[in-house]
Chains A and B, each alone.
Chain A
Amino acid sequence: MLRLAFDLLLIGAGIAAYFIFPDNLGFVTRVLIMIIMVLSLDLVLGYAGVATLGHAALYGAGAYGAGLFAIYYSPDPLTGLLVGAMAGGVTAFVSGLILMRANGLTLLMLTIAVAQIMQEIVNKERAITGGSDGLLGIDMDPIMGVYAFDFFGRTGYWYALVVLLVVFFALKILVASPFGNMARGIHESAPRMRAIGTPVYWRLVAIYTISGIVAGIAGALSAQVTELVSLEAFGFALSAEAMVMLILGGLGRLYGAIIGTIIFMVVHHTAASIDPFNWLFVIGTMVLIVVYFVPEGFMGLPVRLRRWMRWQK
């Protein structure tokens, strides 16, 4: 019952945001897209325990995949979204074949390397990708031939919200499924999972591929809504920020990804508009406080508070 209440609250908040922030729809849409990216990271890091600092490789693949598809083949948004998802998924599968054999620091370094290699490939293929100038000339058709993207970002907002809700509820089903339970099992004890007959490596490749599909969707959405893709889509900053957002919200909880992203982006937005040069100080302090006092993230706050109140009595 509580779960259903939270789900309805999420849908309600998504609809309400449109009316509460009519002049900031561009920013709110960016938040929605980032939530999808962080949900994708939660699947691998929070659920399966695979530490990665190169998740932008999958996001970037989706962004460039959808962008290039729109320029060279078809500007249809839904087909483009599918292409972006596939680009993210294929990138995750191919890189996952190598990455999922590693762990610890080696894995972290390899994930960064994959993102940097992809960034450099896109940079070198200037004739197709625009290189460091970014991918220009994306001009999307109306969604389903009806809803045209507008200057105020209204269509973009609803489009991103619907995609986010579809992704969120799909992931909710996935993490509660046997496959999702196996991912948690791998996180808790990979040797034990092998001992119960689980092909851990292939399961991790599958999880990483699904995560790539979701990150690809986030990248594709970004490309379609902003009609621009730059090399930053593969940037280390994006991967690192996504990880910070997830840690802030709480790993292994889909709502943690949502809360962490909203808090990070709102604080970032507000702090950067007050002091464009020192906003990182605010973010750094916030992360420090959360990691030190609530290592489970904001989603762990109710449990901490309950424990603290019991201790007070």
Chain B
Amino acid sequence: MNAGLRVKNLQMHFGGIVVADNINLSLEPGDRKALIGPNGAGKTTFANLLTGNLTPTGGSISLDGMDIKRMKESKRVRAGVAKTFQITTLFRHMSVRENIRLPILERMGRGMRMFKRADSYPDVEEEIEQMLSQFNLQSLADVEVHELAYGQQRLVEMALTMALKPRILILDEPSAGVAASDAHIITDAIENLPDDLSVLIIEHDMKLVFKVASRIIVLVNGAILCEGTPGEISKNQQVRDLYLGARHDG
């Protein structure tokens, strides 16, 4: 029963400002949960607490029963917790292929190898091809990332993160900045993620959230207001008043 990520009574405050207030959450293998809330609700802070970018002031975070609250970000990634960024922070002057190569090399523990070309590992190159194919990026493989459209960059971002083979994936606003006409590309990519992967999506685009999430958590002022299925959440009057309003018509 310990498989997955468990967050218990998580607290975080900067001085007197509480940004995470007794948050409880569990992510089991195969879960597709979404975290929604108004701007400033503490969603990204919560994601940063999960990834180790920030250290909580209270509560616990465990992965498969192991306490990871004090674990550094890089170690947490190796343990299986990965996150895409709200603002794309890719390696802009590297090609798509090179971008995907880095996390694979790092995951395989080859980041310190100095005597062989980075592109001379057949197993790594094979895996890169798989990732390119999974995210339909083959034709852009040798294009430098700064030359790509924003939506394509978001796909590279997801491919790069998935190359880490995480067990827990946190998608921080995956469709932010993507043109409405291209939003389906991101939705398709999320729907095609492996079934056993636990996914937490932090997103403002309710269309995407209601399409891919099986449960939705509403965060307001650093605290969980409610949790439920998309149907339950869309009918919750308090959520509609506070956040959804005209965004979603049920």
Q: Report Cα–Cα, A179/B89, bound state, in Å.
A: 20
Give per-residue flags for B195-235: 1 if the beta carbon is below 8 A from chain A beta carbons, else 0: 00000000000000000000000000000000000000000
Interchain CB contact (< 8 A) of A195 among B85, B94, B113: B85
Q: Report Cα–Cα, A184/B105, bound state, in Å.
A: 14
Shortest beta-carbon distance from B194 to chain A in Å: 18
Q: Which residues of B75-131 have CB atoms within 8 Å of chain A's CB atoms?
A: 75, 77-78, 82-83, 85, 89-94, 98, 101-103, 105-107, 110-118
Contact A178 B82 (CB under 8 A): no
Shortest beta-carbon distance from B200 to chain A in Å: 15
Shortest beta-carbon distance from A65 to chain B in Å: 23
- Asked whether A173 and B164 contact (CB < 8 A) given A194-B74, A196-B77, the answer is no
Cβ of A206 within 8 Å of any chain B Cβ, yes or no, is yes
Shortest beta-carbon distance from A156 to chain B in Å: 30
Give per-residue flags for B34-68: 1 if the beta carbon is below 8 A from chain A beta carbons, else 0: 00000000000000000101000000000000000
Contact A195 B105 (CB under 8 A): no
Q: Which residues of A174-228 have CB atoms within 8 Å of chain B's CB atoms?
A: 174, 176-182, 184-185, 188-189, 191-200, 203, 206
Shortest beta-carbon distance from B39 to chain A in Å: 22
Contact B101 A195 (CB under 8 A): no
Q: Report Cα–Cα, A177/B94, bound state, in Å.
A: 15
Cβ of B73 within 8 Å of any chain A Cβ, yes or no, is yes
Contact A182 B74 (CB under 8 A): no
Determine the chain B residues whose CB is within 8 A of the CB of A198 once the complex forms: 74, 106, 111
Contact A178 B74 (CB under 8 A): no
Category for how many chain A residues contact B: 20 to 34
Contact B92 A197 (CB under 8 A): no
Category for how many chain B residues contact A: 35 or more
Q: Report Cα–Cα, A177/B118, bound state, in Å.
A: 5
Contact B85 A188 (CB under 8 A): no
Q: Tell me the dominant secondary structure on chain A's binding face.
A: helix
Contact A178 B93 (CB under 8 A): no
Instruction: Name the residue among A177, A178, A181 with the largest chain B CB count within 10 angstroms.
Output: A178
Interchain CB contact (< 8 A) of A189 among B90, B106, B112, B117: B90
Q: Which residues of A27-72 have CB atoms within 8 Å of chain B's CB atoms?
A: none
Contact B85 A197 (CB under 8 A): no
Contact A185 B74 (CB under 8 A): no
Q: Report Cα–Cα, A173/B116, bound state, in Å.
A: 7
Contact A197 B74 (CB under 8 A): yes
Q: Report Cα–Cα, A177/B114, bound state, in Å.
A: 5
Q: Report Cα–Cα, A234/B118, bound state, in Å.
A: 35
Determine the chain A residues whose CB is within 8 A of the CB of B20 once the complex forms: none
Contact B111 A203 (CB under 8 A): yes
Contact B105 A178 (CB under 8 A): yes
Contact A196 B90 (CB under 8 A): no
Interchain CB contact (< 8 A) of A178 among B78, B111, B161: B111
Interchain CB contact (< 8 A) of A192 among B89, B93, B111, B116: B89
Q: Report Cα–Cα, A206/B111, bound state, in Å.
A: 12
Cβ of B160 within 8 Å of any chain A Cβ, yes or no, is yes
Contact A185 B91 (CB under 8 A): yes
Interchain CB contact (< 8 A) of B164 among A185, A189, A197: A197
Q: Report Cα–Cα, A206/B106, bound state, in Å.
A: 16
6 A-B contacts, Cβ less than 8 Å apart?
A: A178-B105, A178-B110, A179-B114, A181-B102, A185-B102, A192-B89
